[in-house]
């Protein structure tokens, strides 16, 4: 079943410059209460430089009172159509639109990570510490890391930054399995 056009509110704005263009698109569906805003910065190809495209996309879901329930923000950098860099952030909100204690999914160093604030007594670390987990691979001793103890992170935002910094400083570190002790 296709949604009638009057339920979907669309807006598109294009600003052209001699070097490229900026496209801002917003879309809101009143039936599903889902809004999408997308911004693209595109530089034209020249003899010396390739075409560069930066895409920032945000998808927001709302409740019946139009408060935010969740959001997903995607940032991509493309060079001649090839993806150079990508980052996805998810956020969920309590009733009334207040940000929940969140888990942030981060991709750094080609690996997926989940950064969160510890709420239970089980496992490593103390309650309230910022932790990072590798959800897709078993890293043995380094599967769950206490970023408050190791990286002095006091907020989830600082934990995300510490995770990205570690992978930036150690780009060639490869995990070889349990008890290998090798780089």
* CA gap 71, 171 in Å, rounded: 30
The three-state secondary structure class of 148 is: helix
Which secondary structure element, helix H or strand E, spans residue 161, and what is its range?
Answer: helix 156-169
DSSP 8-state class, residue 93: B
Who contacts 68 (Cβ-Cβ below 8 Å, separation ≥6)? Answer: 60, 61, 62, 93, 97
Which residues does the chain have with pLDDT short of 70? 1-6, 95-102, 173-183
Cα three-residue angle 158-86-113, rounded to 5 degrees: 45
CB 51 within 8 A of CB 80: yes
* CA gap 99, 61 in Å, rounded: 13
* CA gap 100, 16 in Å, rounded: 39
CB 94 within 8 A of CB 100: yes
Residue (of 36, 68, 43, 42) closest to 55 by Cα position: 42
The three-state secondary structure class of 65 is: coil
CB 127 within 8 A of CB 105: no
Q: What is the pLDDT of residues 113-135, one digit of tens each?
A: 999 888 888 888 888 899 999 88
Cα three-residue angle 12-16-17, rounded to 5 degrees: 155
pTM for the full predicted model = 0.48
* CA gap 72, 59 in Å, rounded: 5
């Amino acid at each position: 079943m296709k949604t009638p056009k009057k339920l979907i509110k669309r807006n598109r704005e294009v600003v052209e410059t001699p070097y490229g263009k900026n496209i801002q698109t917003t879309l809101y569906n009143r039936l599903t209460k889902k809004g999408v805003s997308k911004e693209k910065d595109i530089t034209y190809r020249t003899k010396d430089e390739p075409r560069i495209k930066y895409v920032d996309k945000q998808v927001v879901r709302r409740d019946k009172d139009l408060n935010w329930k969740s959001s997903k923000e995607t940032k991509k950098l493309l060079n001649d159509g090839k993806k150079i860099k990508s980052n996805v952030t998810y956020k969920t909100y309590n009733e009334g639109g207040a940000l929940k204690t969140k888990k942030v999914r981060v991709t750094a160093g080609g690996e997926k990570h989940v950064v969160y604030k510890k709420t239970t007594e089980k496992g490593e670390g103390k309650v309230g510490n910022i932790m990072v987990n590798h959800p897709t691979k078993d890293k043995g001793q380094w599967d769950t890391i206490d970023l408050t103890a190791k990286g002095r992170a006091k907020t989830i935002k600082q934990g995300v930054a510490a995770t990205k910094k570690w992978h930036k400083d150690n780009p060639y570190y490869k995990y070889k399995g349990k008890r290998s002790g090798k780089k």
